[in-house]
Amino acid sequence: MKKNFVFIFAIGLMTLISACGDTQAPSEDTTGSVIPSGYVGKTNSLASSSDVLTEGKTVYEKTCSACHGLTGLGDGPASISLIPPPAILADFHKTADDELLFWRISEGKDGTSMVGWKTVLTEDQIWKVISYVRTFD
Ligand code: HEC
């Protein structure tokens, strides 16, 4: 009886704590990934001008296409040996918000060969790559 009470109390406490979460709490993306608060709300402020897309293409082809393929189909030459295989960006970007793309490209994805690029690319370059990836169909 006493045990039950402690259990119910604990559940109640947990519910209370989660209900009182601050406004900077991590948000959940449409794909189910929980985006860390530092990345929540980030959006691409670059217009998709031809300059932006040209630079994005250059970075993409140098940094991403070996795995993700030239047109984002996940079929780059390095993709054959990877488990899990690279994401099919041509599909992925359609359901992914800017904040999710920016977070993943910056920080990488644990348990996969997708490393974080924030030490290699500038924020500006990452946004240009995102603009370019958004052109994939
Ligand atoms: C060494 C191969 C490799 C390179 C290079 C690489 N990726 Fe990835 N990428 C992967 C793999 C593997 C995954 C994980 C797929 C999965 O989880 O099913 C992934 C996942 C992703 C995802 C989806 C993450 C998610 O939430 O599921 C995005 C977006 C992405 N990569 C973008 C990029 C961009 C942009 C670049 C270049 C700056 C890049 N990747 C470079 C292999 C690579």
pLDDT single digits (tens) 77-101? 999 999 999 999 999 999 999 999 9
d(CA 54, CA 128): 9
H or E, element range at 55: helix 50-63
Do the domain assignments include residue 31?
yes
pLDDT, position 23? 46
Ligand 1 atom nearest 33 alpha carbon: 26
Work out how many domains the chain is built from and give that number. 1
pLDDT, position 16? 44
* CA-nearest residue, atom 29 of ligand 1: 101
| Beta carbon of 71 within 6 Å of any ligand 1 atom | no
* CA-nearest residue, atom 24 of ligand 1: 104
Which residue range is the domain that position 120 belongs to? 24-133
Do the domain assignments include residue 40?
yes
| Beta carbon of 105 within 6 Å of any ligand 1 atom | yes
Do the domain assignments include residue 112?
yes
Percent of the chain scored above 70 by pLDDT? 81
pLDDT tens for 32-54 read 789 999 999 999 999 889 999 99
Do the domain assignments include residue 11?
no
Could you tell which of 33, 58, 68 is best to mutate to test the pocket of ligand 1, judged by most ligand atoms within 8 Å of the CB?
68
| Beta carbon of 86 within 6 Å of any ligand 1 atom | yes
pLDDT, position 83? 96
Q: Is the pTM of this model over 0.75?
A: yes
Do the domain assignments include residue 77?
yes
Residue 65 sits in a domain whose CATH number is: 1.10.760.10
User: Hey, what long-range contacts does 103-108 have (CB within 8 A, 24 or more apart)?
Assistant: 103/35, 103/36, 103/39, 103/42, 104/33, 105/129, 105/130, 106/39, 107/36
| Residue 123 tokens, joined | 């924020």
| Beta carbon of 118 within 6 Å of any ligand 1 atom | no
* CA-nearest residue, atom 20 of ligand 1: 87
